[in-house]
Chains A and B, each alone.
Chain A
Amino acid sequence: MTEALRRRVERLTLAAIVVVVVLAPLGGSRLLLYSLTITAIYAIVTIALNVVLGLAGQVSFAQTTFMAIGGYGSALLTTRAHLNPWLALVVAALVALVVALGVGPPLLRLRGHYLAMATFALALGTDSFVGAATPLTNGSMGISGIPPLAIGSLSFADPLAFYVLSWVACAITLGFFATLATSYVGRAWRAIATGQDIAATLGIRLLQYKVLAFAIGAIMASIAGSLYAEFTSFVGPDLYDISIVVNIFLMLFIGGRGSYAGPLIGAALLTFAPEVLSGFEKAQNLIFFILLLVLLLLWPGGLLGRSQDAGSMADMLPLWLQRRLPSR
């Protein structure tokens, strides 16, 4: 579809999301509220990936590493060091920032496959580490009993309160994303993504901007990780395993990378899909992943992605078949 039409659809989608989010509590379904809260939290991580990959074009799988820093950071600082949960969230985000600034520069000098595999190694390595470092992280048992966030007498252990908190956080994150994307910083990122050499000749400091995107993504992911830990009062290695890494990527790609509403739609789809598929019981996981495989195959640009990412189905066919198609 044309860019103008795409933008219209996106605006409508955002409006629809606002309506749904506002009206959902009135439905009274606890499950719906729960799922939407999870959606908001994962939307934040997906927006983080949207900064790193959607805008700056850096293929990084490292979001779960920073989610783990946020999640385990909050868990450890509150249960062991007895820090206020809000403070723990901020400290964890700062740790994520430091880590991003530390591993970012060497990693982001890499390109293409190298960067993808190195960040993949980082993500899975983090997952293995939290599972193995039992004295620190309680291994595969995870850490439970994380105290809830609270402001004065309002405790966010209340599902509705957390629902509002998570969507406010999501909205702020999206707003921040939009502001950056339309600024000179966002344009510099897009230049790096589209034509790195050209960006260099325009005076853009490549590594600095890549690390900036990476660091911003890290902070967002860490906050999401902390929120998740606070929401479920629990962290464990399963939260950061390979299927989550893949899921976050798919949330961005199915939603449409580079767009505003894409991460939200993607997060919603992938959060609600298991519910929809629960009728299939044991085969649920299998069907879920097969669907994702097929979806990504057919729509590499995602539902709300910019038109240049959309492939046509025809160019997946062998040449001799393509030539026989009408209007080719």
Chain B
Amino acid sequence: MSVLTMTATTKTFGGLTAVSELDLRIEQGEIHGLIGPNGAGKSTTIGLLSGFLRPTSGSITFDQRDLTRLDPSAIARLGISRTFQQATPLVGLSVFENVIVGMHTRFHASLGAVALRLPSATREARALTVSVETILARFDLGMLAETDAKNLTFGQLRFLEIARALAMDPQIILLDEPAAGLNEPERQRLAGVVRELRDRGMGVLLVDHDVPLVFGLCDRMTVMNFGSVIASGKPEDVRADAAVVEAYLGGEPAKGAAR
């Protein structure tokens, strides 16, 4: 069971401390929620975990392997996948192509085999094409396979984003505010998808402003404010934590209002 761990991680930008002494632990087969008001440091956390930001101090490890020196593509190749806050499809590529690019790390054919159209290369391409079709079907994007990604609706883009991150067959997946901008039926579908990711054995970090959604889905959670952890543990324990109630939940915000 692989574990992605942040230990006493701090990130400062010039004089500003975005994240301070953060401890976080994401295990496979578990949904870990991360909530906090705007500016709490959630995006910075995902940036640190995915290699886009280097910690100022502290460490980030994946199964004892130190991630702090690695660039985003190296971290992805270790099996950690992520989505972006703004759904960012690869424009100009079709839905199908977007997802199959996600499978890049699963193509093992050499350049020569590809160039000469050797059977091993074509067989691999065909097999992975089938896998893409399966994923597209799961996300109800099958009919849009040939559509240019830029023509999708917002909700479809969000699911494409997750489908693409999933195509990598990752061990850990970091979801950066996937529910933002989704309507109610879409949120339900999202919840189902996230549960399914966990049931398939993935570790999910779910960062979102939709507090009830996160509470309802996660197995464990962490609450941040001003760059530090103010509570962490099981959802029911966190909910009862006085500090959290005071700092953040006091006067329960309307669902999805923090957009």
| A187–B105 CA distance with the chains assembled, in angstroms | 12
- Surface stretch bound by B, among A20-28, A58-66, A76-84, A201-209: A201-209
- Surface stretch bound by B, among A42-50, A145-153, A175-183, A291-299: A175-183
Q: Is A327 an interface position by the 8 A CB rule?
A: no
Question: What are the interface flags for B28-46 relative to A under an 8 Å C-beta threshold, 1 for contact and 0 otherwise?
Answer: 0000000000000000000
Contact of B71 among A3, A184, A200 (CB under 8 A): A200
- Surface stretch bound by B, among A11-19, A161-169, A191-199, A243-251: A191-199
| A197–B82 CA distance with the chains assembled, in angstroms | 11
Q: In the complex, are the beta carbons of A201 and B114 less than 8 A apart? A: no
Which B176-222 residues have a C-beta within 8 angstroms of A?
A: none
Q: Specify which chain A residues have a CB less than 8 angstroms from the CB of B165 in the assembled complex.
A: 201
| A187–B76 CA distance with the chains assembled, in angstroms | 17
| A306–B94 CA distance with the chains assembled, in angstroms | 13
Beyond A180-B115, A203-B73, A203-B168, is A198–B90 a contact (Cβ under 8 Å)? yes
Q: Specify which chain A residues have a CB less than 8 angstroms from the CB of B121 in the assembled complex.
A: 183
Name which of A183, A204, A206, A212 has the most chain B CB atoms within 10 A of its CB.
Answer: A183
Q: Is B97 an interface position by the 8 A CB rule?
A: yes
| A180–B97 CA distance with the chains assembled, in angstroms | 15
Q: In the complex, are the beta carbons of B76 and A176 less than 8 A apart? A: no
Name which of A180, A191, A198, A205 has the most chain B CB atoms within 10 A of its CB.
Answer: A198
Q: What is the minimal beta-carbon distance from A191 to any residue of chain B, in angstroms?
A: 5
Contact of B125 among A176, A184, A188, A200 (CB under 8 A): A184
Q: In the complex, are the beta carbons of B111 and A212 less than 8 A apart? A: yes
| A308–B93 CA distance with the chains assembled, in angstroms | 11
Q: In the complex, are the beta carbons of A188 and B114 less than 8 A apart? A: no
Q: In the complex, are the beta carbons of B114 and A184 less than 8 A apart? A: yes
Beyond A184-B114, A190-B92, A191-B93, is A200–B73 a contact (Cβ under 8 Å)? yes
Q: Specify which chain B residues have a CB less than 8 angstroms from the CB of A201 in the assembled complex.
A: 50, 72-73, 76, 81-82, 165
Q: Is B84 an interface position by the 8 A CB rule?
A: yes
| A190–B73 CA distance with the chains assembled, in angstroms | 16
Q: In the complex, are the beta carbons of A194 and B92 less than 8 A apart? A: yes
Q: Is A185 an interface position by the 8 A CB rule?
A: yes
Q: What total of chain B residues lie within 8 Å of the partner, measured CB to CB? A: 36
| A119–B103 CA distance with the chains assembled, in angstroms | 32
Q: What is the minimal beta-carbon distance from A130 to any residue of chain B, in angstroms?
A: 31
Q: Is B227 an interface position by the 8 A CB rule?
A: no
Q: What is the minimal beta-carbon distance from A175 to any residue of chain B, in angstroms?
A: 10
Q: What is the minimal beta-carbon distance from A213 to any residue of chain B, in angstroms?
A: 11
Q: In the complex, are the beta carbons of A187 and B101 less than 8 A apart? A: yes
Q: Specify which chain A residues have a CB less than 8 angstroms from the CB of B115 in the assembled complex.
A: 176, 179-180
| A66–B77 CA distance with the chains assembled, in angstroms | 34
Q: In the complex, are the beta carbons of B92 and A306 less than 8 A apart? A: yes
Beyond A179-B117, A198-B84, A202-B104, is A187–B125 a contact (Cβ under 8 Å)? no
Which B89-118 residues have a C-beta within 8 angstroms of A?
A: 90-93, 97, 100-105, 107, 109, 111, 114-115, 117
Contact of A202 among B71, B76, B114, B125 (CB under 8 A): B76
Q: In the complex, are the beta carbons of B92 and A308 less than 8 A apart? A: yes
Q: Is B148 an interface position by the 8 A CB rule?
A: yes
Q: In the complex, are the beta carbons of A179 and B84 less than 8 A apart? A: no
Name which of B52, B72, B82, B91 has the most chain A CB atoms within 10 A of its CB.
Answer: B72
Q: What is the minimal beta-carbon distance from A245 to any residue of chain B, in angstroms?
A: 27
Q: Is B17 an interface position by the 8 A CB rule?
A: no
Q: Specify which chain B residues have a CB less than 8 angstroms from the CB of A176 in the assembled complex.
A: 115
| A3–B150 CA distance with the chains assembled, in angstroms | 14
Closest to A3 in B: B148
Q: Is B164 an interface position by the 8 A CB rule?
A: yes
Q: Specify which chain B residues have a CB less than 8 angstroms from the CB of A195 in the assembled complex.
A: 88, 90-91
Q: In the complex, are the beta carbons of B107 and A184 less than 8 A apart? A: yes
The 12 listed contacts between A and B (C-beta, < 8 Å) are A3-B148, A176-B115, A187-B97, A187-B100, A188-B101, A190-B101, A191-B90, A194-B92, A201-B72, A201-B81, A202-B168, A308-B150
Binding site for B on A (CB under 8 A): 3, 176, 179-180, 183-185, 187-188, 190-191, 194-195, 197-206, 212, 306, 308
**With A187-B97, A191-B90, A198-B84 given, can you name 9 additional A-B contacts, CB distance below 8 Å?**
A184-B104, A184-B125, A191-B101, A195-B88, A198-B88, A203-B168, A204-B104, A212-B111, A308-B150
Which 5 A-B residue pairings sit nearest by Cβ, starting from the closest?
A: A203-B76, A200-B72, A203-B105, A184-B107, A200-B73
